[in-house]
Structure 1
Amino acid sequence: MKVVALVSGGKDSCYAMMECVRWGHEIVVLAHLHPPLELAPEDAEIDSFMYQSVGHNVVSLIAESMELPLVTDTITGSAVTQAIDYHAKMDGDEVEDLFRLLENVVELLDDMVESGIEAIIVKVASIGLTPRKHLGKTIATLQPEFLALHEKYQLNVCGEGGEYESLTLDCPLFKKRIVIDSSRVVLHSDDFFAPVAFLVIEECHLEEKEPASPSQLASRLLSTDHPDRFQLNADTVSEDAIAVQPANALATLAPDDRAFLPHHSQFRNIFHLSGVMSARSATLTLKEEMNDVFDHVRAALEKESMTLEDVCFVHLYVRDMHSFAQINDEYCRFFSLRMPPSRSCVEVSALPARVLLDCVGVRGSGKSKLLASRVVRDVLHITSISAWAPNCIGPYSQANILHKSLILLAGQVAFLPQTMEIIGADHAAQARVCYRNAGRVLEALDSNLRHVCSAVVYATELPNRTHLSGLAALCRAQLVANAGLKDNFGSVVDSDESDDEVDKDAERVRLATHAPLLVVQVSRLPRHALVEVELQAFTHRVLKHLSPASFVSTHSDSAWTYECQRSIVQRALCVVMCIAATTAPPTQRLDTREAREVAAGLLHCVERSFALAQLPWNRAVHFRVFYRQSAFESELAIASAFAKSYRQSEEDTVLPAMTFVPTDAIVNDASVALQVTAHDLEKLETELWLRKQI
């Protein structure tokens, strides 16, 4: 890709250019925004929210040293809009300066130093940094001091908090180096603790340097297989893939048969809509079918005084992934690109229609997500390409956060963020990348993988069913190890810490060790990925102050073994994963009596879980039933078993919205797995408010 590089002259923009080249892009022009040229040098520090202005007079030499054209424009605006959203043109805002310009044409610092960037400090504005001592020094020289100041004052070692600004004099992309002939220090604010000062470059020139050989340049630009970025040394999995079983076509339920199947449920403002398919799929084009599906969704939402803007997560199951591009194009028409719901998408070849959809929404959250406080719902939606995590270019977000408590992550496949290409030769390698990507997203949301309360892992093309257990063990290990990422909460010290607060590493590991985790095999995943990971996680304030717990129990009867995994916040949340395996051969189809037995056994596990969490049944907002398609005649068989079993319950229970997902296989050679979500998120929010965390 040919790109324009926006440069300030500092280390960050030069490092971004090196990263760009390293990943195969071609820089064709440099762009620069500078303060008004009529300003005197000592007045040129305009303290912009977006742009560095110190050292702007040296940028032309950077372009000359790279032998690239430079386009420039003047910063005329200021930070008019300071909200997190910027979606409409705002006259006088400095964002518009960038648009106008482009229209005309502790890990990161290590990488910068190792990459051969020679940058000096040209502005200081932080406690611990002094003008006479630090201005003009290189970041390589000051790196140990930055690390010490980070420990002492929490200084951002890369200067991302405005602690300092830099000017690059040389880097591997430069064909000439910049030499400063004369400079002087300007004291902007003589604060006793944190003086603000900058370096005015009065004269400088370019100096020839020995050209770097291609091999030297490549080594300075760092290999794309940099060991600190991804560890993909996974155990080899056999490539002898099992033959794909023909899909067991599910019977399309007649309207009378669906009368007992709940399609929606709600508690307070949480609304769950399930099992949305078009009954006329066979006679419609794909576009017409998508219109029909979303007509059903909108009609159901309107009855609850809701709109599509209130939807925060969508599960999209497609019968044939080859139609995904067209399905996604149609999906785009229904959701705004502004703070859309998160999404998970897999192929389920046994569907009776081309599309099956379920969604969860929070009434009024479409408006509340635009407010400054965003307590009810917040959204993380980043579309730019970076080394951080995969971008979301479609109408779906990396995550939706409800009531500052529960994070719903979009399904993650093994994208390399810098290229958005699937990497990893086998399931183990791809699973590691999935969890690393998910961990990066959670880090941005005051959480990490040790805060996960529920995980569903979709896999495809497994050599045999026994590999599901191995994959489940690897995924569990990724949660416990936080995918090898630094646990930023491990060294947190709080002045109000008490015995009731959960902020210990052992407790976080314990939660991840037993959090509900399910692995199922499906026919195909987006972009031919081998693994997709879908997670729910707590924010750290919930983990610390509300003491969530997770644990596993098993029991057996004459024909079935049940494993029940639970994550619980007392009287506020219960996420359950119940897995039922029979002693009968896994290829044997269950009769009506056996289907009702397993449904009753799973419902008993749910009732027991709710009792442990001290939650009434009406807090259950959704059941997701994964079942091995070879074990049941149709969706109707398993749905009828649940409908008839719950009526025999001792409690006056009502089934919540239910989604039935046929699979090729389930971990532990199970026939059925039930994922249950029950919560009172307003209570979670209230408990955090009482503890002064919101």
Structure 2
Amino acid sequence: MSLNVIALISGGKDSLYSILHCIRNGHKVVALANLHPPPLPATTTSSNSNSNDVSTADDIDSFMYQTIGWSVIPLYEEALGIPLYRAPIIGGAVDAGRVYGDATTAGEEDEDETESLIPLLKKVMAAHPEANAVCAGAILSTYQRTRIEDVAGRLGLVPLAWLWQYPFLPAEARSTGAGEDEAGLLSDMAAVGCSARIVKVASGALDEGFLWGDVADASGGLRRRIVKGVKRFQMGGGEDIRGAVVGEGGEYETLAVDGPGFLWKGRIDIADEGREVRRGEGGVGYLRLSGARVVSKSQDEEDGVTPGDVRRPVLLDGEFAGALDGLWDGDEGGGEEGVAMREDYRASWTFDEPVQSVNGGLWTVANIAAPEVGPGAAEQMAAIVRKIQKVLATPITNGTLRSTADIVFTTVLLRSMADFPSMNGIYVSLFDKPNPPARATVACGDSLPEGVNVMVSMVVDLGPRAQRDGLHVQSRSYWAPANIGPYSQAQSVPLQGTERVVYIAGQIPLEPASMDLVEVEKPSAPGGPSWAETYSLRAVLSLQHMWRIGAAMEVGWWLGTVAFFTGSDHTRTRAQLAWKLWQKMHDASLHEDEEEDEDSTLDVWDIKYGRRGHEQTQTISRPQLPNFELVEASEPKTQVPAFFAVQVHELPRNSDIEWQGLGYRCNGVKLTRSETEFGRTTDATTNENFKYSCIEIDSAGAADLESQIQRVLEVYKLQPGTSHCIIYTSQPLPQDCCQGQIVPCKSVWGAEGTELAAGVIIQRQT
């Protein structure tokens, strides 16, 4: 769907380049919006004086907005032919937390500068009622992105951040000179005729000689100088410098002065005498600009650049493209029978009370349902909300009360995806703070107990909230699907020691920029893609989403995954393809040629506005995913983490696959795989004794599944209320057998694509 976009501009290269991506993706930019420094008090030195105070004369050094060169901003209306709206910045960084709304600002007299966006955008929306989206140039700044998303959400606008994580996304194969890989974003700007001049330097790597240099010059000379300068000032070796090269650590700031003719109707010209070099504190150098004007472009200056020339990152990272290659070999496998298809096990089953357990600082409450209130999904969800609030109001440990802000993961089971909107409208009322819990939502059809249309299970963190870390990217980008709804992409929770468990939300194969299900563009045979081609691509893309989120959350290893899939045909083949993909992604040879992406775990915005942009900062490497150095396994075959493929009735957006994973941050993990009396088990035990066990109950045990599960619980010494247990089953189980979360499904499949009667996951801190 085409959007009508308000473009937030600062004059910097990123905000103007983002406009090109809006057009590239089929959207229309209806207005420009800019916040500028407030008028100086009469007693303050005029900006035309010889004052060296950069924070009051030319640049207020806002935490949120670039303000250097603000006097040139009015010219963009003429240069781009798009109406411009402006307003002053009021207030400062009152809420200085990385995620807006997390900090407590009660009692603060000053207004946060973020709130200055509200009246400005309301003014634009009044003049352009068709506007329904807002874009910004956020690249790596969680600080900036979350604030724009907060404002967009309150105004009902779709947030767009095309350049989010852009420096680390895969580029098309192209011949590059020295340093061009690190300068990929700047090279892409140069390729479409952008011109952005450096107007401020604030790093020992860049001196005043860089001022007014064009970072997007076609020759690439300045980019190579930037790369060389940044590398000289890195401490240690092997760091990924791409964030610094594009200025995300405050190394420099730019003013965009030209671009392709399909957007830029004129270029901004500032003569030599209008560029005065000034010096600020801490080695900062900047240009005071005057006499700027717009020079209209003549027909002779036609550049021939079209929106299609604006490069979008390729869809798949290198290792995922490699995993897709040969994933499906044309063999549709053998019989399509499943446990649920051979015999009708749809007897009535009920859950009288939720199942609770506490272990390792995590409290789980499973199988919360409310069929007693009536058949409507909304009324059942409303009753479930009341039950959740009542449970949380009961002290669980040390008399401490928890709230919905402590929920870190939920599983929502529906009878039909048609009930999703009504359920979700009630579900959202549970959460009023940023970074709501990660979530997986599937529809189980008639596998759910009779009368139950909604069932919820949740994991609650009993530790300090300040130690938790969430990821909730609501902006549309090229990175991964935006989560505009009431759930985060991930929640990272510390356990009793130094290790962290990372809950990843269920990921479906949405193409991030469009938020549509991905389709095969070039079928391998005439007549369109086969079901297997489409399914394979979607399996790979949705797993890549999970992988990218895991990498962003510094996951070193997956404890396990569940691939939910739909469809009534090719059941065995769908399960086997998912397993084959999971296995390939844990083949060390697939990752041998991949560049080791290492970037700072510090938010570059914190570095920049912690007034340390000019200092030398040590880069901290992000662990590889998968990090095979963490794993102790008896043989390569056992190096693959736990896996289930679970056939369900429906998935969100009518997807045919959804991956949901549990990541882990630790210093080491031991993997063992063994044959048991009921099937196979995969055990992962971390250095600090967190144990994750995946138990496969063979399909031969379907006739006596209850006793098989009871035997599993005995073997693993599972005591009610002390370990988190999840059971994926295609047949009903009695209440006394359900000592954990139940996910009723059509069929269950394990490693090697083996058909199962049930799958059991047990998590515990020993």
The TM-score bracket by the shorter chain reads: 0.7 to 0.9
Matched, 1:591 2:703: yes
Within the candidate set 670, 673, 680, 1:549 is matched to 670
* Alignment match, 2:206: 129
Within the candidate set 685, 692, 700, 1:575 is matched to 692
Corresponding letter in the other structure for 2:629: E
* Alignment match, 2:712: 602
Within the candidate set 236, 255, 262, 1:167 is matched to 255
Kindly provide the CA deviation profile for residues 518-545 of structure 1, in whole angstroms up to 9, marking residues without a partner as x: 2222121100111111111123xx2xxx
* Alignment match, 1:672: 758
How far off is 1:618 after superposition? 8.1
Matched, 1:429 2:545: no
Corresponding letter in the other structure for 1:414: P
Q: 1:595 to 1:79 in 2, by over 3 A?
A: closer
Q: Is the 8 A contact 1:23 1:224 kept in 2?
A: no
Kindly provide the CA deviation profile for residues 94-136 of structure 1, in whole angstroms up to 9, marking residues without a partner as x: 2122223212214433433334321111110011101024443
Matched, 1:414 2:509: yes
Q: 1:581 to 1:299 in 2, by over 3 A?
A: same
Matched, 1:401 2:492: yes
Q: Is the 8 A contact 2:457 2:741 kept in 1?
A: no
**Matched residue of 2:716: which SS?**
helix
**Matched residue of 2:270: which SS?**
strand
Matched, 1:476 2:583: yes
* Alignment match, 1:151: 231
Aligned-pair identity in percent equals 25
Distance 1:77 1:474 in 2: 51
* Alignment match, 2:293: 205
Structure with larger RCO (C-alpha < 8 A, sep 6+): 2
Kindly provide the CA deviation profile for residues 190-215 of structure 1, in whole angstroms up to 9, marking residues without a partner as x: 65xxx211122222333333569897
Kindly provide the CA deviation profile for residues 159-202 of structure 1, in whole angstroms up to 9, marking residues without a partner as x: 111110011111122122222213334332365xxx21112222
**Matched residue of 1:333: which SS?**
helix
Q: 1:167 to 1:86 in 2, by over 3 A?
A: same
Corresponding letter in the other structure for 1:536: L
**Matched residue of 2:430: which SS?**
coil
Distance 2:592 2:542 in 1: 9
CA-atom RMSD, angstroms?
Answer: 3.7
Q: Is the 8 A contact 1:514 1:566 kept in 2?
A: no
Q: Is the 8 A contact 2:557 2:626 kept in 1?
A: no
Distance 1:57 1:197 in 2: 18
Q: 1:67 to 1:239 in 2, by over 3 A?
A: farther
Give matches, 1:625-636, under 5 Å: 625-627=727-729, 629=730, 632=731, 634-636=732-734
Q: Is the 8 A contact 1:523 1:664 kept in 2?
A: no
Matched, 1:332 2:431: no
Corresponding letter in the other structure for 1:578: I
Corresponding letter in the other structure for 2:575: L
168-177 or 328-337, which deviates more:
328-337
* Alignment match, 1:272: 364
Give matches, 1:351-500, under 5 Å: 351-352=448-449, 353-363=452-462, 368-369=464-465, 374-375=466-467, 377-403=468-494, 405-425=500-520, 426-447=534-555, 450-461=556-567, 463-478=570-585, 487-489=596-598
Give matches, 1:37-76, under 5 Å: 39-40=46-47, 43-76=57-90
* Alignment match, 1:685: none
Distance 1:209 1:332 in 2: 51
Kindly provide the CA deviation profile for residues 59-117 of structure 1, in whole angstroms up to 9, marking residues without a partner as x: 22222121111111222422222123433797342212222321221443343333432
Distance 1:423 1:115 in 2: 27
* Alignment match, 1:613: none
Q: Is the 8 A contact 1:432 1:478 kept in 2?
A: no
Q: Is the 8 A contact 2:358 2:364 kept in 1?
A: yes
How far off is 1:479 after superposition? 5.1
Give matches, 1:191-270, under 5 Å: 191=282, 195-209=283-297, 216-222=305-311, 231=321, 235=327, 248=344, 250-253=346-349, 263-267=355-359, 269-270=361-362
Distance 2:99 2:59 in 1: 26
Within the candidate set 97, 104, 113, 2:116 is matched to 97
How far off is 1:387 after superposition? 2.4
Corresponding letter in the other structure for 2:100: Y
How far off is 1:474 after superposition? 0.5
Distance 2:655 2:693 in 1: 27
Q: 1:590 to 1:249 in 2, by over 3 A?
A: closer
Matched, 1:20 2:128: no
Q: Is the 8 A contact 2:694 2:761 kept in 1?
A: yes
Q: Is the 8 A contact 1:116 1:220 kept in 2?
A: no
TM-score, structure 2 normalization: 0.72
Distance 1:175 1:234 in 2: 48
Corresponding letter in the other structure for 1:464: T
Distance 2:415 2:460 in 1: 24
Q: 1:50 to 1:292 in 2, by over 3 A?
A: closer
Distance 1:572 1:84 in 2: 32
Distance 1:479 1:307 in 2: 38
Q: 1:201 to 1:397 in 2, by over 3 A?
A: same
Kindly provide the CA deviation profile for residues 552-600 of structure 1, in whole angstroms up to 9, marking residues without a partner as x: 2234x5xx5x221122114530111111224x5xxxx8434x642x325
Q: Is the 8 A contact 1:578 1:605 kept in 2?
A: no
Q: Is the 8 A contact 2:632 2:668 kept in 1?
A: no
**Matched residue of 1:635: which SS?**
coil
Corresponding letter in the other structure for 1:565: T
Kindly provide the CA deviation profile for residues 363-422 of structure 1, in whole angstroms up to 9, marking residues without a partner as x: 3x5xx43xxxx21x2322232222232222121111111127111111111122222222
Distance 1:199 1:362 in 2: 50
How far off is 1:669 after superposition? 0.8
Kindly provide the CA deviation profile for residues 497-531 of structure 1, in whole angstroms up to 9, marking residues without a partner as x: 9xxx9999541577894222222221211001111
How far off is 1:268 after superposition? 6.1
Q: Is the 8 A contact 2:316 2:544 kept in 1?
A: no
How far off is 1:12 after superposition? 0.5
Kindly provide the CA deviation profile for residues 16-63 of structure 1, in whole angstroms up to 9, marking residues without a partner as x: 111111112111111112224554156212211121222222222222
Q: Is the 8 A contact 1:124 1:135 kept in 2?
A: no
Distance 1:446 1:427 in 2: 28
* Alignment match, 1:537: 663
Distance 2:599 2:112 in 1: 40
Corresponding letter in the other structure for 1:537: G
* Alignment match, 1:346: 442
Q: Is the 8 A contact 1:264 1:272 kept in 2?
A: yes
Corresponding letter in the other structure for 1:676: I
Q: 1:490 to 1:286 in 2, by over 3 A?
A: closer
Distance 1:21 1:483 in 2: 37
Distance 2:206 2:461 in 1: 47
Structure 1: gaps (5+ residues):
608-615, 644-655, 681-694
310-319 or 480-489, which deviates more:
480-489
* Alignment match, 1:657: 740
Structure 2: gaps (5+ residues):
41-45, 52-56, 125-181, 235-240, 521-533, 602-616
Aligned residues: 614
Kindly provide the CA deviation profile for residues 257-308 of structure 1, in whole angstroms up to 9, marking residues without a partner as x: x68xx71111364211112222426x43322222333333333333333332
Q: 1:429 to 1:99 in 2, by over 3 A?
A: same
* Alignment match, 2:405: 309
Corresponding letter in the other structure for 1:318: L
Give matches, 1:607-646, under 5 Å: 620-627=722-729, 629=730, 632=731, 634-636=732-734, 642=737
Give matches, 1:179-194, under 5 Å: 179-182=269-272, 183-189=274-280, 191=282
435-444 or 404-413, which deviates more:
435-444
